[in-house]
Copies of this chain bind each other. A is one copy, B any other.
Amino acid sequence: MLSKPEIGYNECEYDVADLIVFGLPFDSTTSFRPGTRFASAAIRNEFIGIESYSPLLDEDLEEKMIHDLGDVELPFGQIESSLTSIRNCAAKVYSDQKIPFAIGGEHLVSLPLIEAAFERYPNLVVVHLDAHTDLREDYLGNPFSHASVMKRCHDFLGDGRIFQFGIRSGTKEEFQFAKDGHTHLQKFNLSGLSEIFNSFENTPVYVTVDLDVLDPSIFPGTGTPEAGGITYKELEHLFIAMQGINVIGADIVELSPHYDHSGVSTAVACKVLREMMLAILTNK
């Protein structure tokens, strides 16, 4: 008879859940338009607006065990302590043998999430969908920036472990870094994504989706909209490719809901979240 906003349809207790959702309201290093701090609240509010069943995957949230932890409290403007709090939250979920699914926030939140995943799964690979390379050594002198997050991950993962798709913006140097073989970088689209997922076998996979990989026509509510992105139907290839794969953690980042008054961007993020959770939990 009474309701409060929560993600998931069969919301269960933490202890029995397979997948743990939490929000990361952090946008301190955003270089253009801030506001991703409001993403998890917006998603929680609107999640009720989508169905629990996916006709694409033929799976239903009502049959899955998911717990919504709420938002990690992060002090504005204090980058270092925020990264530590995020890493601790993810590490706790891993130590409880569950799958963390984070809702950003800006893309820098993926750094502590992937660090925590790497600590538990040293043979980890990372699949990264994005409009931007995120491979800068630093941004205006700052090595911990949403424009450098994949470079920071490469620092500890090394070559051949990062697979980037949909990339259509960056400096010449960043694209050269990928061409030199440090990451697998597919420009403009998701070509080859299914094959690469199939090649992973049992390797643990972390999936990070910067939602601005989508074209701004369908996802205007983000900090740095970049024309020429993929359609939602193209993104569905990711959801299908993830089914049956050993995905051990995931995040979706860079929804900035105040920049899209139509609410479509938030609705899209909710649907991406549903499909990714269902793909990860297929047969669970």
Contacts and interface: CB of A to CB of B under 8 A. Distances in A.
B225 A77 contact: no
A75 B227 contact: no
Q: How many copies does the complex hold?
A: 6
Contacts of A187: 55
Contacts of A27: 34
Contacts of A272: 227
A208 interface: no
Contacts of A49: 32, 224
A225 B267 contact: yes
A101 B32 CA distance: 25
A209 B135 CA distance: 33
Contact of A170 (B53, B72, B172): B53
Interface stretch (A115-123, A192-200, A210-218, A276-284): A210-218
A264 B216 contact: yes
Contacts of A3: 70-71, 73
A96 interface: no
Given A27-B34, A260-B262, A1 B228 contact: no
Interface stretch (A137-145, A151-159, A240-248): A137-145
A145 B56 CA distance: 25
B225 A233 contact: no
Given A2-B69, A141-B75, A215-B217, A263 B53 contact: no
Interface residues of A, number: 83
A227 B232 contact: yes
Contact of A28 (B35, B76, B81, B263): B76
Contacts of A105: none
Given A51-B170, A218-B215, A233 B228 contact: yes
Interface of A: 1-6, 22, 27-35, 37, 41, 44-45, 49-53, 55-56, 60, 68-73, 75-79, 81, 85, 89, 139-142, 144-145, 167-172, 175, 187-188, 215-218, 220-221, 224-228, 231-233, 236, 258-264, 267-268, 271-272
Closest 7 CB pairs of A and B: A220-B262, A34-B34, A75-B140, A217-B217, A217-B218, A29-B77, A2-B70
